[in-house]
Amino acid sequence: MADGMIDLSGAFLPVTTPFDPGTGDVDVAAFRANLTRWCENPVSGVLISGSTGESVFLDEEERAMLVEAAADVVPQNAIVIAGTGSESTRHTIRLTQQAATAGADAVLVSPPAYFKGAMSDDVLTDHFAAVAEASPVPVLIYQVPLRLSTLEFSADLIGRLSEHPNIVGIKDSRGQLDLAVELVGATADGFQVLVGSGAILHPAMQGGCVGGIVAVGLMASAEAAEIAKAHAEGRDADAAALQARIAPVHQQIVGGMGVPGVKAALDLLGLHGGSPRPPLRAAPEDRIEAIRGILQDADLLMPAGV
């Protein structure tokens, strides 16, 4: 078990996984190129194999390979978090230990939700405690977006888990500011609450959250990093102005279109987006034009012909 000491403040990027269009394999060269571009801005770190990274479509070897690549590419002061949640406690522990061996600094563990009705607070406490005890690195709990196949944690459960020395924080992707701030008050001193919605990054930090793991930062990494920096420096007007500019990008692309929309946006921005893994489908042409307009409205894409 790790000592649990890690600073998760700031803006983290839940990075996408590029696939080779011919073979369907993970394109590690494209992945490394994306990371290099994103880390030109002072982001706090990256999340590998999260929801935006199509974690449910990746096998164990691919997950480890991506973590190794990220640990090699990102700056020394940036944190590499790996998504390691699975349905059984045993498999979650194995994925967690593999991620740590591959170079992850921390892991993000989603709940086992298939047998949802059996997942009482006591069962979930045992599950997360077992993972935390077996993990060589600090553990974050992942409150998955409720629109996905998941369950919702009670504030009491998170308060209980926050007492564990190796459970250091939570990523709350419900997208509701009041619920995220409630977790700040319900958890132990030093427990770090991060939001998963790039639309509420600044107000969440004002409410006591330490930062966010936000997919809008894949399209606006400079802006996301600057929101966190401006907040830390007390420049709330600057942070609020940037937040207002990128919130629609989160709402319309990340929230409204999911992984296919985010990947299409990356292609438009000169990054490696590409198609998701089947059965997900790439964004259709009419949606790509809508994405272009959204990015232009947020001053993230230069107008055509400039």
78 pLDDT higher than 90? yes
Q: Which amino acid is at 132?
A: A
The secondary structure element, H or E, covering residue 121 is helix 121-134
> In angstroms, rounded to a whole number, what is the distance separating the alpha carbons of residues 223 and 225?
5
> In angstroms, rounded to a whole number, what is the distance separating the alpha carbons of residues 65 and 255?
28
pLDDT for 173-216, tens place per residue? 999 999 999 999 999 999 999 999 999 999 999 999 999 999 99
What is the pTM assigned to this prediction? 0.97
Q: What is the mean pLDDT of residues 43-61?
A: 97
Strands 167-172 and 45-48: unpaired
The chain-wide mean pLDDT, for the chain, equals: 96
Fold that domain 10-233 belongs to in CATH: TIM Barrel (3.20.20)
Range scoring the smallest mean pLDDT among 144-148, 241-245, 292-296: 144-148
Active site residue ranges: 171
Q: Percent of the chain having pLDDT more than 70?
A: 98
DSSP 160: H
Q: What is the pLDDT of residue 2?
A: 67
Q: What is the pLDDT of residue 88?
A: 98
44 pLDDT higher than 70? yes
- In Å, the largest CA–CA distance within the chain is 59
